[in-house]
Amino acid sequence: MGRVLQGIGGLISLLAILVLTTGLVFAGPSGKSDQVQITVLSVNDFHGALLEDGGNPGVVKWGKYLKDEKALNADGTIILSAGDMFQGSAESNLLHGKPVVQAMNNIGFDGMALGNHEFDWGITTLQQQARSSRFPYLAANITDKATGNQLPFVKPYTILERNGVKIAIIGLTTLEAAYKSNPQIVNNLIFNQPAEVVNSLVPKLRNEGAQLVIVLAHLGCEIDSRGVITGEAADLAKKVSGVDLIITGHSHKNIVGRVNGIPIVQAYYNGRATSKATFLYSLSENKIISSIITNNNNIQPVEPYDKGLAWIVERTNAEVGTAMKTTLGTARTTLTHDRYELSLLGQWITDNMRKTAAADIAFLNGGGIRAPIPAGKITLRHVYQALPFDNTLYVTELTGRQIIAALEYSFANRSVGMLQYSGLKVRYNNTNSPSNKLVAVATIDGVPLRPDKVYKVAMNDFLAVGGDGFTMLSQGRNGQNTMRLLRDVVVSSIRSVKHINITGDNRLTYETVLIIKQAS
């Protein structure tokens, strides 16, 4: 008898595997399909990576892969994005995301959460993108300060039906958008607590007949070697109930795991991975039988060509491609960049900002640079990849006290990125001492910075309005936006020197002397 039961159990397991891998459905006594497969494909942080380049598969290969995956379960698949899709490449930036919208329409996306970079070109441009998109923009936790209402072109959620299952998708945007987006663009918006919003919506959606509830969230998270997930998305999972899947973005990580029993996925960035959640759902019992979550980091479609997507790339290249190949100069070594450290590229750019503005000091947020510039020929495309934002050069006057406060904030809040600077020499106590971390700050000629002295400071317009939390940099006097794109400053600087050779100048030194406070 035991062997018979084992055989029956093995048959049931085999049937479940067939459903999850082929999309088959099985009929009950009435002839109606009972167990069905729901497939959720998701991506995040594509950042306009239309072209195949290095580790980026490009939109033709990436989009064809998504189409191939959907074809395996055409009636039961949805394709979602967790945001930050448009900004990042010259091809997308120059056309304000238009080719990415066209590609997403062609692929058949079903919804997109708003990421912080969706706001980079302003609310009006974002609204125009939404009108051109054949999928909804989702953000349940963003409201207008003046009205308390949602933005008119953004939905809090959408409900779809696949294989007879109603699927609710709630959109969320990171609270970090309040300061990681340009404050002047988002200062009329309120970013509400994600968990409170989700917990208020889930009962309503269940009452409307939702059988699966997915949270599509541009919230960051990390995963350690033990598989433990932490961060905004993990915090959300611990505080909500009635949620069947959380799709995340923002932190550019490969995430596959569970928190509080809820599956959580994130698919790296630039199209380099795709997340897949597969649910086996019983219509008769109205419940999930099983769920499998995976990430695919090898984007290889059955046939790596798609006529419609290739046409989008070809037309985009015809509009901007030739200009991007223009050689500006050469770099003897790679101008490296790590947003969380003082980098060679950050030093070189701020040096040229300071020179252009005839300033004493220059600052640039670490996240304002998005890619290194490789050794060899430097093209306009390299500059766009390094500086994708349309930030301008801003000049103001700050006291030594305000400058020191900015440096202290930068060292204390590395998660927002290290402040890149020029015109200063900084000594920093690199021990675990809770105080006295900033040992000394001097001008480039070695003169100690005087707290009450006023210095002429160059920065980008993002920092000038307190971006990344640097509110002290917004408190200067006689501020002036030159309206000159920082990218143009860099292009002019490369063209003027022709050959870049920088090795760093020890403008930042770390000390490991523990400062012990004397007992009184």
DSSP string for 415-445: GG-PPEEESEEEEEE-SS-SS--EEEEEETT
Residue 516, pLDDT score: 38
Report residue 349 CA to chain centroid gap: 23
- Which residue in 57, 185, 51, 206 sits closest to 125, CA to CA? 185
Q: CA-to-CA distance for 121 and 229, rounded, in angstroms? A: 32
- Cite the residue boundaries of each domain of the chain with CATH code 3.60.21.10: 25-317
DSSP state of 70: H
Residue linked to tokens 């971390």: 437
Supply the mean pLDDT for the chain: 90
Rounded CA gap, 67 and 60, in Å?
A: 11
Of the candidates 278, 294, 264, the one whose C-alpha atom is nearest the C-alpha of residue 39 is: 278
CATH superfamily label, 325-511: 5'-Nucleotidase, C-terminal domain (3.90.780.10)
Q: What is the pLDDT of residues 285-307, one digit of tens each?
A: 999 999 999 999 999 888 878 99
Please give the DSSP secondary-structure letter assigned to residue 472. Answer: G
Rg (CA), the chain: 26
222: three-class secondary structure by DSSP: strand
Which one-letter amino acid corresponds to residue 92? S
Q: Region 170-189: what's the mean pLDDT?
A: 92
Give residue 181's pLDDT. Answer: 85
User: Residue 62's closest CA among 23, 92, 106?
Assistant: 106
Take residue 236 and report the two structure tokens written for it: 């959300």
Backbone angles phi, psi at 284, to 5 degrees: -70, -35
Type of residue at 182: N
Q: Over range 423-434, report the average pLDDT.
A: 80
Predicted local confidence at residue 9, as pLDDT: 42
- Could you give the residue ranges of the DSSP H alpha helices within 41-176? 58-71, 90-93, 98-107, 123-132
- Average pLDDT of the segment spanning 262-276: 98
CA terminus-to-terminus distance, the chain = 82
Torsion, Cα of 361, 365, 369, 370 (10° steps): 170
**Residue 140 contacts residue 171 (beta carbons within 8 Å):** yes
Question: Cα separation of 13 and 456, whole Å?
Answer: 71
245-247 vs 212-218, strand pairing mode: parallel
CATH superfamily of 25-317: Metallo-dependent phosphatases (3.60.21.10)
Task: Please give the pLDDT value at position 189.
Answer: 98
In the chain, CATH 3.90.780.10 sits at: 325-511
pLDDT, mean of residues 228-239? 98
Distances (CA, A) of 485 to 391, 437, 482: 6, 34, 8
Q: What is the pLDDT of residue 236?
A: 99
CB 236 within 8 A of CB 215: yes
Mean pLDDT of 327-349: 95
* Alpha-carbon gap, residue 287 to 145, rounded angstroms: 39
Q: What is the mean pLDDT of residues 464-476?
A: 95
Angle at 113 between CA 112 and CA 117, to 5 degrees: 105
- Model confidence at 376, pLDDT cuts 50, 70, 90, reads very high
DSSP three-state, residue 401: helix
| Residue 432 confidence (pLDDT) | 59
pLDDT by residue (tens digit) across 429-460?
877 555 557 888 999 889 999 999 999 999 99
CA distance 516 to 512: 12
**Which band of pLDDT confidence, cut at 50, 70 and 90, is reported for residue 482?**
confident
What are the backbone dihedrals phi and psi of residue 168, each rounded to the nearest 5 degrees, phi first?
Answer: -95, 135
What gap in Å lies between CA 198 and CA 239, rounded to an integer? 9
Two tokens at 199?
A: 């917990």
CA distance 313 to 100: 9
* Chain CA centroid to CA 172, Å: 13
Structure tokens at 269: 């960035």
Q: E strands along 355-416, which residues?
A: 361-364, 376-379, 392-399
Q: Which helix (H) or strand (E) holds 288?
A: strand 287-296
List the structure tokens of 429.
Answer: 């106590």
* Pair 440, 452: CB distance under 8 Å: no
Q: How far is CA 373 from CA 152, 278, 496, in A?
A: 40, 40, 17
Whether the Cβ atoms of residue 305 and residue 64 lie closer than 8 Å to each other = yes
The model's pLDDT over 19-66, given as tens digits with 9 standing for 90+, comes to: 454 454 545 445 556 999 999 999 999 999 999 987 899 999 999 999
Question: What average pLDDT does range 374-385 have in this prediction?
Answer: 94
